[in-house]
């Protein structure tokens, strides 16, 4: 029979907790710092301290076990330094250049710190694998990545250095690659289920990564930077960027019309986005008008890809572009919501109409240009809805469904890449039927390891402290002794908890708080750190060798006999 693990002692672990006073309004990131999990090195860059490292190790171990055991993936460790020439060859360098840390060596060869490794892994496989008999191939790594974020924020949720799990898959056919893709999605669901996280798998845009099929894995949270759309009646889940909506009939002719103005990144084109300023019920009798904040920039980008979404005052840039001494402006783009009256759309279509024929609200900025473009559909002739989907809108997938929109944090992303990287980088495989070579079918699948840590802290923290799930907690149980219990008593309790482990759960990850601090101080610190279960040798121990078991997340605080302790602690862990 396997012996229980040695009991860890907090007196032998360095974590500077308890020395920073709580701020008036404290977010989870501040609690991570105050509890001694991490410290900031510089903007968006953090040192992971021993407690934080334990959480990171737990997340890495859980993810790695699923990837290896269920997908048969082999672990690699790719260099953090990548050659710019490789990114030029894939055609991605210019698209993501603003977010790269770039440098040159003493021979003026251009390199970058890799924000992701599609180019490197594809190049490696291209030089190594030649036959379809060597496929399918699954390679993964857990490593540091680098991204020069314009505005790092929310601690581990949006940093410039982060730890990520990448899984890269290579198949010989589209059919087997899609089968792999769906297997990965199943494994991802199991990973987040083990962490007891209510993660949503949402259809998503592939963006600069490439490919035409992707899903994001979101944890609903008010601090999230994404918006996820779900249906209460069916399985429809999508990122707002690609979510469909039921396009209603044309709005009445007397519906007020508003314009939102944007500008392209090169400042040469003004973008007028025309939308109906109608009102919709939000439930409970509340009525709200659509405003500029409801513009769906992803929909606008579907027809104006080079829109600068970060500009709030487009007309100031347009004034410069149209000034007599500049004259760099070239075009006015009219992007029209497909529900606007056809009479209005007809007035905007084609060449610029005279000012007298425009409603007052639609007057274009002076001076008018001779070149006007007009858009009422997105790519693929799909009706264009330039307004964001809102809670209580109708579901596009089922007749009775009502949509819900909520903010969420992205924890993972799966991409079916096809030949996006294998073709330009020469990752070819022989085809048995023809004897010829064809590009491998690829997928890439990521989980943000450090982001999971920050997201879980944000999701489960309360005003008292952090609150870790058992699967990734730094320690799953802490034993704290008061002044009337000596070290031998506390060690006896630790060994007793692990003396009769259940076959399925195994031994618990127990730590003894033997620091020379008063009991109230240690209890407060235990709540801040977020141990799932706390076992206290206090007054009840002195009175009758009974223990107090606490679980803040489940609202448990009970006195337990020594003989019942392993079962009680085990049941709590099974629920966490």
pLDDT digits (tens, 9 = 90+) for 422-466: 999 999 998 777 778 899 999 999 999 999 999 999 999 999 999
Residue 167 has pLDDT above 90, yes or no: yes
Share of the chain above pLDDT 70, in %: 86
Q: Are residues 215 and 268 in the same domain?
A: no
Distance CA 508, CA 473 (A): 11
Tell me which residue has tokens 């990171």.
56
Distance CA 35, CA 17 (A): 5
- The pLDDT of 505-534, averaged and rounded, is 90
| Closest residue by Cα to residue 364 from 291, 274, 268 | 274
Q: Is residue 394 part of a domain?
A: no
pLDDT band at 66 (very low <50, low <70, confident <90, very high): very high
Q: Are residues 45 and 191 in the same domain?
A: yes
Distance CA 149, CA 151 (A): 5
Q: With H, G, I as helix, E, B as strand and everything else as coil, classify residue 176.
A: helix
Q: Is residue 23 part of a domain?
A: no
Q: Are residues 333 and 422 in the same domain?
A: no
**Residue 113, beta-bridge partner list:** 81, 101
DSSP assignment string, 458-484: HHH--SS-----GGG-S-SEEEEE-TT
- pTM here is 0.86
Q: Are residues 188 and 214 in the same domain?
A: yes
Which of the two residues, 330 and 87, has the higher pLDDT score?
87
Domain that holds residue 548: 8-18+464-575
Would you state the pLDDT for residue 505? 53
**Chain mean position to CA 573:** 27
User: Hey, CA dihedral for 88, 90, 91, 97, is it positive or negative?
Assistant: negative
The vertex-71 CA angle with 69 and 74, nearest 5°, equals: 80
Q: Are residues 39 and 169 in the same domain?
A: yes
Cβ(449)–Cβ(59) below 8 Å:
yes
Would you state the pLDDT for residue 71? 97
Distance CA 205, CA 238 (A): 9
* Least confident stretch, 211-225, 237-251, 404-418: 237-251
* Least confident stretch, 128-137, 221-230, 312-321, 395-404: 312-321
Q: Is residue 414 part of a domain?
A: yes
Residue 546 has pLDDT above 80, yes or no: yes
Q: How many domains would you assign to the chain?
A: 3
Q: Are residues 290 and 412 in the same domain?
A: no
pLDDT band at 122 (very low <50, low <70, confident <90, very high): very high
Q: Are residues 224 and 268 in the same domain?
A: no
pLDDT band at 272 (very low <50, low <70, confident <90, very high): confident
| Closest residue by Cα to residue 403 from 538, 262, 282, 554 | 282
Task: Compute how many other C-beta atoms are within 10 angstroms of the C-beta atom of residue 381.
Answer: 8
| Closest residue by Cα to residue 269 from 384, 371, 362 | 371
Q: Is residue 99 part of a domain?
A: no
Q: Are residues 282 and 412 in the same domain?
A: no
Q: Are residues 70 and 137 in the same domain?
A: yes
Residue 511 has pLDDT above 50, yes or no: yes
pLDDT band at 357 (very low <50, low <70, confident <90, very high): very low
* Least confident stretch, 97-111, 246-260, 467-481, 524-538: 246-260
- The pLDDT of 158-175, averaged and rounded, is 95
Cβ(275)–Cβ(386) below 8 Å:
yes
Q: Answer with the one of 458, 474, 501 that is the final residue of a domain.
A: 458
Would you state the pLDDT for residue 292? 79
Locate the DSSP E strands across 349-440: 372-375, 377-378, 382-383, 403-418, 428-430, 437-439
Residue 563 has pLDDT above 70, yes or no: yes
Share of the chain above pLDDT 90, in %: 57
Considering 68-82, 151-165, 196-210, 561-575, the range whose residues carry the highest mean pLDDT is: 68-82
Q: Answer with the one of 441, 458, 475 that is the final residue of a domain.
A: 458
Q: Are residues 302 and 379 in the same domain?
A: yes
Would you state the pLDDT for residue 361? 41
DSSP assignment string, 556-575: EEEEEEGGGHHHHHHHHHHH
Task: Look up the CATH number of the domain holding residue 231.
Answer: 3.30.930.10
Pairing, β 437-439 against β 428-430:
antiparallel
Phi, psi angle pair for 570, to nearest 5°: -65, -40
**Residues 291-306: pLDDT tens digits?**
778 888 888 888 888 8
Would you state the pLDDT for residue 491? 93
Q: Are residues 173 and 42 in the same domain?
A: yes
Judge residue 507's burial from the number of C-beta atoms within 10 Å of its C-beta, 0-12 exposed, 13-18 middle, 19 or more buried. middle
List of residues 6+ apart from 510 with CB closer than 8 A? 7, 8, 475, 476, 477, 478, 479, 494, 497, 498
Buried b (16+ CB within 10 A) or exposed e, 233-258: eeebbbbbbbbbbeeeebbeeeeebb
Task: Look up the CATH number of the domain holding residue 496.
Answer: 3.40.50.800
Q: Are residues 184 and 224 in the same domain?
A: yes
Looking at every residue in the chain, the average pLDDT score rounds to 86
**Residues 458-486: pLDDT tens digits?**
999 999 999 999 999 999 999 999 887 88
């Amino acid at each position: 029979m396997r012996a229980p693990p040695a009991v860890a002692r907090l007196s032998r672990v360095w974590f500077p907790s308890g020395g920073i006073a709580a701020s008036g309004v404290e977010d989870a990131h501040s609690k991570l710092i105050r509890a001694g999990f991490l410290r900031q090195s510089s903007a968006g860059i953090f040192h992971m301290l021993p407690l934080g490292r334990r959480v990171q190790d737990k997340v890495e171990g859980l993810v790695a076990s699923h990837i290896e055991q269920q997908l048969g993936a082999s672990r690699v460790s790719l260099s953090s330094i990548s050659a710019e020439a490789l990114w030029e060859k894939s055609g991605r360098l210019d698209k993501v250049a603003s977010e790269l840390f770039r440098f040159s060596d003493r021979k003026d060869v251009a390199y970058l710190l890799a924000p992701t490794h599609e180019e490197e892994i594809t190049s490696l496989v291209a030089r190594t694998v030649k036959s379809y008999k060597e496929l399918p191939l699954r390679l993964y790594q857990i490593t540091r990545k680098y991204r020069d974020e314009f505005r790092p924020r929310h601690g581990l949720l949006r940093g410039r250095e982060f730890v990520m799990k990448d899984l890269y898959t290579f198949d010989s056919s589209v059919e087997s690659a899609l089968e792999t893709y769906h297997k990965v999605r199943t494994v991802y669901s199991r990973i987040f289920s083990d962490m007891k996280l209510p993660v949503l798998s949402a259809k998503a845009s592939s963006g600069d990564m490439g490919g035409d099929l992707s899903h994001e894995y979101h944890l609903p949270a008010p601090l999230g930077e994404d918006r996820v759309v779900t249906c209460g009646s069916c399985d429809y889940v999508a990122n707002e960027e690609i979510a469909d909506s039921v396009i209603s009939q044309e709005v009445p002719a007397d519906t007020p019309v508003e314009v939102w103005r944007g500008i392209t990144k090169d400042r040469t084109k003004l973008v007028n986005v025309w939308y109906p300023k109608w009102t919709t019920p939000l439930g409970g009798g509340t009525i709200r008008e659509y405003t500029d904040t409801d513009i769906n920039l992803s929909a606008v980008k579907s027809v104006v890809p080079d829109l600068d979404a970060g500009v709030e005052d487009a007309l100031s840039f347009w004034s410069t572009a149209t000034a007599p001494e500049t004259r760099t402006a070239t075009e006015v783009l009219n992007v029209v919501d497909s529900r606007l009256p056809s009479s209005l759309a007809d007035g905007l279509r084609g060449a610029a109409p005279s000012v007298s024929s425009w409603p007052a609200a639609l007057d274009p900025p002076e001076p008018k240009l001779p070149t006007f473009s007009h858009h009422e559909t997105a790519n693929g002739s799909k009706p264009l809805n330039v307004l964001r989907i809102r809670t209580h809108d109708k579901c596009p997938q089922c007749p009775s469904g009502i949509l819900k929109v909520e903010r969420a944090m992205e924890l993972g992303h799966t991409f079916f890449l096809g030949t996006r990287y294998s073709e330009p980088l020469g990752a070819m495989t022989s085809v048995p039927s023809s004897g010829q070579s064809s590009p491998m079918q690829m997928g890439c699948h990521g989980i943000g390891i450090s982001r999971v840590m920050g997201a879980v802290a944000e999701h489960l923290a309360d005003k008292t402290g952090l609150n870790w799930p058992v699967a990734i907690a730094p320690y799953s149980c802490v034993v704290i002794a008061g002044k009337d219990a000596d070290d031998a008593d506390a060690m006896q309790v630790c060994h007793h908890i692990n003396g009769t482990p259940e076959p399925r759960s195994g031994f618990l990850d127990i730590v003894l708080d033997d620091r020379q601090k008063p009991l109230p101080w240690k209890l407060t610190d235990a709540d801040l750190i977020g141990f799932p279960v706390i076992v206290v040798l206090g007054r009840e121990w002195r009175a009758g060798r009974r223990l107090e078991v606490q679980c803040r997340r489940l609202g448990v605080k009970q006195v337990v006999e020594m003989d019942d302790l392993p079962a009680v602690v085990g049941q709590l862990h099974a629920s966490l």
